[in-house]
Every structure is written in C-alpha cells, then in structure tokens.
C-alpha cells in the first residue's frame, strides 16, 4: 500500500485524506482529559499536518468536545470538514439515546452554537434509537439539510439493513462503525453495502482503543471512568491472550520497518477506496505517526499476515459488554460481539 492507495477519499460532496482525527478522547471516555492548552496544540497540529476531517459529537464531554473544537478551529473553518453527531447525548449526567425528531433538531442548534459555525458539513445519527423508526430520525435530519444547517448526513453503529432504510429517505454520505484488525463487524455487511451505495465507511477506533499503539493500556493504571474498564477485551480474563497476539503483530511491523500503529492503520485504509480512518490521540507525536501512514509503502504480504494474526476468530472477548451490545444495531462477529 503506497500513496496511491491512500488517494483522497469522498464523503458526499467532500474530498478528504484517508486518515482524519477523532476528537472524542480530548474530552471524553479515556480518563482525565488533557489540559485545554494541550488539546488546542493537538488540534492545531492536525491542521498543520494536513488533516481535514475532524469528528466530534454532542455526547463527548456532554458538549465540551464540540465547544473545544469550535473554539480552536473556528479560524480554520474553511480548511476542514466538520462532523458531529446527534441522537446520543448527556442528560443529567447520564448517557441517553434519543432519536426523536424534536431532540435531533434541538441538538443540531446546540451543536452549531458550540462549534461556532452556521453549517455542519456532516451530521451523524450517533445511535439508532430502537423506539424511533430510523426513517423518522433521518427525516428530521433531512429537514436540517433543507434548512441549510447541515450539508451531508451520516449514521453510526448501524447495520447494512438500517443503512439501506435510511438511504431510501435521504442520501447517506457516511457510515461510521468501529473497524480495526480486532473489530471486523463491517465485514458482515456494512463494508459491502456502503461501497454499493457510494457511502464512505468511516472507521472509528482503528487502533483498537490504544491497543495497537506503541503503549497499549496498562490495566493496572486505567483511570476511573475509563470506558475500557467495562470492555471485555481489556478484562484480565482476556487481555493477556490479546497481548500475545499483539506481540506477533509487532514482529510483522518490525520486519517491514513500521510501527504497530502504522501497520494497523494501513490495514484499515487498505480495505477499500471508500474507507476512511479517524484515529484519536492526545499525543502530537502519535498524531504525526498516524498521518505519516499515508506516505508509506506497506507490502501487501504484511497486511495479509496482520489480518491472519488478529481477527474476529482470534481476538479474545467481545468489543462491548452485554448491555452496550444490546443497544447497538451493527452486525455481530461470532464470539467477538
């Protein structure tokens, strides 16, 4: 995989590099957030490094992440593709899935204010609300497009069937699902459906929530509130076996002069010309490492070896606990969830 395999990719009317930036962990999910100064430095460095797709959500930090992204990147608005999400927010300190049209309309107005913009380039339904037909949720989002508040629509963590239902209501530009060497759920339907419909498959957590980086999570030091504490793959009953697989991947990466993160990202973006990865990081060094993947010539043999080592059949533990899995509409991958 060389630069040609990582030519700019399409999301609806937009063209973006194959590696963007997921902004969640600057405010949410992985313990104590970085300082505002460190977060600002990371975001501005991403702009300098040529990142154009920035992904946030109303849920992240219960609005704090949108505020951060809006404050830091408002002066660079014409250089970026700004994506956010509705349908899952914080209410009285709790995460709530709510896809009702009135909630979507209110959340969009709040997002526009926090992001300091008149229009969102890409707006996702963050989760399918099983109490609300997807046609109703997407219908409300289509009204936002008609009103000039949103340019393109997306869905997150849904199945191929739900994607097709939504696409029949209004064209869907992007489908965001977890996709990495150890989370292969899109291969059960959405990867092919997105390609068929002309939808970008935006891969979140392409580095397996930090597992496929130079410093995998140390279970003894995961801070309180870190979401990985509740994920089976990071449980002490599964994690040692997964670390053994990671060690094999490191050997493959070393043999071809790559870091593990570069190998893992190269694998994700090699899965199709419609696939875009949005790794998150708090480290400027890791950011540059991730973006540099676009310039690397990765042998196909290394990618094939990597996918044989770590996949849905070899990973230990489901990607979410049973409660969270029940909320998600994506196809399952056998014992891996």
Positions marked active-site: 60
If phi over 0 gives left and psi between -120 and 50 gives alpha, with beta otherwise, what is residue 272?
A: left
Phi, psi of 173 (to 5 degrees): -90, -30
Contact 21, 51 (CB under 8 A): yes
Distance of alpha carbon 142 from alpha carbon 150, whole angstroms: 8
Phi, psi of 51 (to 5 degrees): -70, 135
Exposure string of 135-156, with b = 16+ CB inside 10 Å and e = fewer, is: eebbebbbbbbeeebbbbbbbb
Q: In terms of residues, how long is the chain?
A: 337
């Amino acid at each position: 995989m060389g630069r040609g395999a990582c030519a700019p990719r399409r999301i609806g009317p937009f063209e973006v590099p194959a590696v963007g930036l997921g902004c969640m962990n600057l405010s949410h999910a992985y313990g104590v957030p970085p300082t505002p100064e460190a977060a600002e430095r990371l975001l501005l460095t991403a702009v300098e490094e040529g990142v154009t797709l920035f992904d946030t959500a109303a849920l992240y930090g219960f609005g704090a992440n949108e505020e951060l992204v809006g404050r830091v990147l408002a002066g660079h608005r014409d250089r970026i593709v700004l994506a956010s999400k509705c349908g899952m927010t914080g209410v009285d300190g709790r995460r709530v899935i709510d896809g009702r049209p009135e909630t979507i309309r209110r959340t969009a107005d709040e997002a526009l204010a926090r992001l300091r913009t008149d229009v969102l380039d890409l707006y996702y339904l963050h989760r399918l609300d099983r109490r609300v037909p997807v046609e109703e949720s997407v219908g409300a989002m289509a009204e936002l497009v008609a009103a000039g508040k949103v340019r393109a629509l997306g869905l997150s963590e849904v199945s191929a069937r739900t994607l097709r239902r939504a696409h029949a209501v209004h064209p869907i530009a992007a489908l965001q699902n977890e996709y990495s060497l150890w989370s292969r759920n899109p291969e059960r339907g959405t990867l092919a459906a997105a390609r068929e419909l002309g939808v970008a498959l935006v891969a979140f957590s392409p580095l397996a929530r930090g597992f496929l980086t130079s410093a995998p999570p140390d279970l003894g030091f995961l801070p309180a509130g870190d979401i990985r504490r509740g994920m089976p793959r990071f449980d002490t009953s599964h994690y040692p076996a997964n670390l053994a697989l990671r060690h094999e991947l490191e050997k493959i990466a070393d043999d071809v002069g790559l870091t593990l993160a570069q190998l893992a990202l190269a694998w994700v973006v090699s899965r199709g010309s419609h696939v875009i990865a949005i790794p998150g990081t708090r480290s400027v060094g890791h950011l540059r490492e991730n973006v540099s993947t676009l310039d690397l010539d990765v042998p196909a043999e290394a990618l094939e070896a990597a996918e044989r080592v770590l996949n849905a059949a070899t990973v230990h533990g489901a990607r979410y606990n049973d409660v969270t899995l029940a909320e998600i509409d994506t196809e399952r991958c056998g014992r891996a969830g």
